[in-house]
Structure 1
């Protein structure tokens, strides 16, 4: 069901929109968690390290195109808010044509460069290297299916429908869990089976999503015979999304540099780091769900030239997101060891995970502030400052501090770098949002969109 967010109580609208996104993110992470639990318990710690080690390489390969896709989705929300349905249809066609073409390039480049990336990250030679390379290459063969699966959900989000994508995620999760157990526990296919299960699950959900959207949504149709690629809309989405794409790429580079430091301590340390990151994603899910909701909310209200509603919605989102992050951080800190034991019983892995959690959780409320403000400003069409906030937080603060804390305080103290980086990012985006300068950019952007 499409939601017009230009009228009604902002806090209720954003919460109602965010909850299905949150449930969807829970399902998304559930099948990622199942991958790790199956790998850790049926294959071993080295396989768990390999799966965790490989995710950032995949994200690096798709990150630039994902940023441009985000720009297109912001246009979708603005065209929907301004009731420009013909441009909405053209924008959706443009997203699909561009993203599916990009998937071919990404697959070829990723298969060729997987091992060099892994070696740069100090991935241990032997089983961990071999399993990492297998996992990456198998997932890359399904890039087009993964893009289509994610684009369907993003388009629905742009038009204010966060519930239908929950159905797509449910299908993907169920198929993935069944195939994980079948391929690994029954057929003993190792990490190849885990990756293949993910590809098939996303493919099934993508095909179902196309059928469902074409049947239920009346204002546009996916893969119609009259699909059009609009160069102007593509360039507008490129203008909005390029900074996010650059941010994604540099974020991946920074994360790879941090992973390189982690990998230097061996498979057990890598596995503890990987398992904690899986738990971390559950704490992060409410933050990203409300951030995505506020992007759509701001985009629609900017499209309707209704800036007066924006501040109220952003303020409500910060209060909700910060409150949830504090509660979840306390829970994970208290029960971290028990959560980690779902992945492994290895004492060295558990020790690393516990130490990471103690240093990660105290500053989590800052991440909620950064993501909400970055998403709000980006929804208004301003993407440069959110990019700078994120990149300075990561590249200027987190990564150098990780190496400094590791050198002077030992390997566990490197993890204090997360909170320190989030503090720096808050000090950049907070004053900019409060200054209101992003509003002038929003007005200019809406006027330019109306002329295309």
Structure 2
């Protein structure tokens, strides 16, 4: 076993999840840091409209890539289950299948993203002062979207094997390249938003290709072949069964974010820029909990593969304590300093006030999300991927989105953000009920019995 791999079927669940999540935390921090560098560079050296444009672009990028990223999640779960069962051939066939699917789908996905970017910006009512820069950013990023997807596939493969350290290496490389190119393209070449977007895709593509070479050199039981990876139809169906619910969940989350973004955009450029800055701080603050939750998926997947359901329940219980405690500490540290944190991105008092409105309401209640996330990831790792999808859809479209519009209309634009904890509470009720009733264990049994024989395309 390469030293990067981690067998999570033995040992203390808490210690294993913390050990697995620390590289994920540093990796997520690096990823968010270079996203924040984008906003810092455009906010301080290009202008408020450019900062708003970059912020508006992120959920659109997430929307148009989420289905394939969901497939990467499905691959990670499947590999974790094969790894827990000691089936190395299953791991190899899973890697071949997901890379074959990536190479087949990347061209149509890129074309779809390029064609859809303009209409989506119009649909969400982006202000005219921001539209052109947001469109430029999206077109450049979508032209090189293979780097983003390729990195996520590499990370999903490795995380399924219990290796959370190597993706950190990939991100470190991308972060360094992105920061240097951001400063070069904006401060020296004066390319504005175009330069920031170009720096992003060059960094992501280099990180992806570097990751392919690194994986092929380190892991001898499988080899990534970019243009001749055979697809196993049976495994592809299983990857899709595990990954499509996650992809749909992420996709409809992105749509919900865009719908709320349209509401936020209607209140003007400063309010949109404040939300953009606050959302980055919020994402950064939640990263420790998010990393713990990713560890839950791999932990549950490996123990399901090994048939250790007793360890699954113990691990989920401890992950909830870890996530809620961490979230409360972070909220106490960030909320009192929200104005200063927003001012790092933009000194405009209206932008600072708008960002504070978000952070005070959302971060102070984010402990609710730190209950919902581990439950959803545990169910996903067990193979019950449909439950988190349904929970998320109901929480977003039955609670958060309508609540945001109602609160903004009757109580003012700043109070629309109370819709977030309302949605999280609904999600906890749904996912918590399913988990406590225990029917997800049937999915575990079905998962263990449904390993397909190899059928190559």
TM-score (norm 1): 0.98
Shift of 1:131: 0.3
* Alignment partner, residue 262 of structure 2: 260
Which residue pairs with 1:286 in the alignment?
Answer: 288
Stretches of 4+ aligned residues off by more than 3 angstroms: none
Q: Distance in 1 between matches of 2:198 and 2:104?
A: 22
Match of 2:64 in 1: 61
CA deviations on 1:348-371 (whole Å, 9 max, x unpaired) are: 100101111111112101101111
130, 135, 138: which one pairs with 1:136? Answer: 138
Tell me what 2:341 maps to: 339
Match of 1:303 in 2: 305
Cα offset for 1:3?
0.5
Query: Aligned equivalents of 1:226 and 1:39: distance in 2?
Result: 41
1:161 aligns with 2:167: no
How big is each residue's C-alpha offset from its partner over 1:353-397, in whole Å with a ceiling of 9 and x where there is no partner? 111111111210110111100000100000111111111111110
1:94-113 alignment, distance < 5 Å: 94-113=97-116
Matches of 2:17 and 2:413, distance apart in 1: 40
Shift of 1:440: 1.4
Paired with 2:208 and 2:453, the residues of 1 have a C-alpha distance of 34
CA distance in structure 1 between the aligned counterparts of 2:452 and 2:10, rounded to whole angstroms: 21
Shift of 1:103: 2.1
Q: Hey, what's the Cα distance between the residues in 1 that align with 2:263 and 2:226? A: 48
Query: Which residue is 1:174 aligned to?
Result: 176
Unaligned regions of 5+ residues in structure 2, if any?
none
Structure 1: runs of 5+ lacking an equivalent: none
- 2:429 alignment partner, one of 427, 430, 443: 427
Q: CA deviation at 1:185?
A: 1.1
C-alpha change, 1:225 and 1:387, in structure 2 (3 Å) is closer
Aligned mates of 2:245, 2:48 — CA distance in 1:
37
* SS, match of residue 364 in structure 1: coil
1:212 aligns with 2:198: no
Contact 1:100 1:148 in 2 (8 A): no
- Where do residues 357-436 of structure 1 align in structure 2 (5 Å cutoff)? 357-436=359-438
Deviation at 1:344, TM superposition (A): 0.6
Paired residues of 2:100 and 2:228 also in contact (CA < 8 A): no
Partner of 1:115: 118
> Using the alignment, how far apart are the partners of 2:222 and 2:396 within structure 1?
39
User: Partner residue of 1:82?
Assistant: 85
The C-alpha deviation readout for 1:244-267, integer Å capped at 9, x for no partner, is 222222212211110110010111
Q: Distance in 2 between matches of 1:7 and 1:255?
A: 39
* Alpha-carbon contact 2:69-2:152 (below 8 Å) kept: no
Question: 1:204-239, CA deviations, whole angstroms, 9 ceiling, x for partnerless residues?
Answer: 111211111111122211118873111110001111
Q: Distance in 2 between matches of 1:37 and 1:357?
A: 18
Contact 1:65 1:102 in 2 (8 A): no
The structure 2 residue matched to 1:348, chosen from 334, 350, 358, is: 350
- 1:400-446 per-residue CA deviation (whole Å, 9 max, x = no partner) reads 00000001001001011011111111111112111111011111111
Taking only aligned residues, the RMSD between alpha carbons, in angstroms, comes to 1.2
Query: Which residue in 1 is equivalent to 2:31?
Result: 28
Q: Which moved more, 1:173-182 or 1:205-214?
A: 205-214
The alignment partner of 2:344 has SS state of: coil
Measured in 2, the distance between the counterparts of 1:451 and 1:321 equals: 39
> In the aligned structure 2, how far is the partner of 1:106 from the partner of 1:451?
29
Counterpart position of 1:5: 8
SS in 2 for 1:363: coil
Distance 2:446 2:453 in 1: 11
Paired residues of 2:99 and 2:229 also in contact (CA < 8 A): no
Deviation digits for residues 56-102 of structure 1, max 9, x if unmatched?
A: 11111111222222112211111111111112111111111112332
